[in-house]
Amino acid sequence: MHWNWAADRAGDRRGWSGNATNKGNREHGRAWRVKLTRGIPVCSFLAAVLLLLTLPVVHAVGITTVVVVYPDGRSFSYIGEIYPGDALVPHSAVLALDGSGYVEFPHSDSFNSRELSVVAIVRPYSHPDWNAIVSKDELDWRLYISQVSDRWDFMRRDLNGNVYVAEDGAAGIGERILLIAVSNSTHISIYVNGSLAVSASWSGAPAGHDYPLLIGVNSYNGSVMWAQAWQGEIELVAIYDRALSPEEIADIVKGIFPGNGLTLFFEPGMKNGDLFWAIKAEGIARGNVDEKDLQGLPVHAVEQ
């Protein structure tokens, strides 16, 4: 079943604002369908383990480390096992940040490809500074709200440090938005709710630093820029190592994500004690939460 994002835009999705018993109210039966081209369906950690035990010929399991940093300074490292194949990702919650927390993924060369697409569904609570949604570092690229114009911006740098920016569309406080930033060989563009908002030319080889990918904050030369942290909700982040086509963007508006070139799929959620599910390298990485910590925002995790 595909979730019709456009039909449900007006729905209230305020993250974890109540107690732990409220989590069941977020199981609406919606799902993102991620179309991958090989492997087997994986719906839970246990099912994945059983499938891997019974089907040893499936592609080798990989390992990735996901780090979640919370406002009190604690950070939690999740070592997630990666399973290739189709995945039906439950859509049940949002990551709500107050400007002092973020999620980190390790560097991947695929995050620095010349052709690149970044998808995000967000709702800003405020934008007092350069409010970053996703950043591969200031010296590579970032998707954010401009402090100067309060507009959606997608910025890339080339190997010589030249900056290229596509900017358009007012970032309304409290408004839930689907953003898709696309970089091809000649232009960078921003699509807002599926419609092309702006394109800007760019040239040169992309900068290729090995800094981690941050969701919810910007970094500069590898150092976190806390003044540029996200304040609001992040429902989803997907990254492709290629430029999405207009037809694929129309599919994403309907909740259908192409699997070709998908290198990261971060979808916060709560299912059987999981803080989030993330698809990376054609697989699933998961972390656990402590039930007693579901009282406020953001959710706290069990240290691994």
Of the given ranges (3-7, 149-153, 177-181, 279-283), which has the lowest mean pLDDT?
A: 3-7
Give domain status of residue 123, yes or no. Answer: yes
Q: In this structure, is residue 285 part of a structural domain?
A: yes
Q: With bands split at pLDDT 50, 70 and 90, how would you rate the model's confidence at 268? A: low
In this predicted structure, the answer to whether residue 263 has a pLDDT above a threshold of 70 is yes
CB atoms closer than 10 angstroms to residue 63: 11
Q: List, for residues 30-47, the tens digit of each pLDDT value.
A: 344 444 332 223 333 333
Structural domain contains residue 298: no
φ/ψ bin of 217: left (φ > 0), alpha (ψ from -120 to 50), beta (otherwise)? beta
129 within a domain of the structure (yes/no): yes
Percent of the chain with pLDDT strictly greater than 70: 56
For residues 99 and 214, give the distance between their C-alpha atoms in angstroms, rounded to a whole number.
13
Which of 192, 229, 231, 235 has its CA nearest to residue 214? Answer: 229
Would you say residue 221 lies in a domain?
yes
State how many domains the chain has.
1
Asked if residue 117 belongs to a domain, the reply is yes
Whole-prediction pTM? 0.67
Characterize 113-147 residue by residue with b for buried, 16 or more Cβ atoms within 10 angstroms of its Cβ, and e for exposed: bbebbbbbbbbbbebebbbbbbbbbbbbbbbbbbe
* Residue span of the structural domain in which 253 resides: 6-293
Q: What is the CATH number of the domain that holds 204?
A: 2.60.120.200
**Is 65 a residue whose pLDDT tops 80?**
no
Is the confidence at residue 210, as pLDDT, over 60? yes
What tokens were used for 224? 């976190």
Question: Is pLDDT above 70 for 148?
Answer: yes
Cβ proximity of 300 and 289 under 8 Å = yes
Find out whether 51 and 232 touch, Cβ atoms under 8 Å. Answer: no
116-124/177-183 β-pairing: antiparallel
Q: Residue 167 has what pLDDT?
A: 84
In a domain, residue 70? The reply is: yes
Cβ pair 124, 57 in contact under 8 A: no
Lowest-confidence range among 84-98, 128-142, 268-282?
268-282
Decide if 302 is inside a domain. Answer: no
CA 94, 14, 229, 101 torsion-angle sign: negative
CA pair distance 172, 44, nearest whole angstrom:
36
Residue range 233-260, pLDDT digits in tens: 888 888 999 999 999 999 999 888 888 8
Pairwise pLDDT comparison (157 vs 53), residue with the higher score: 157
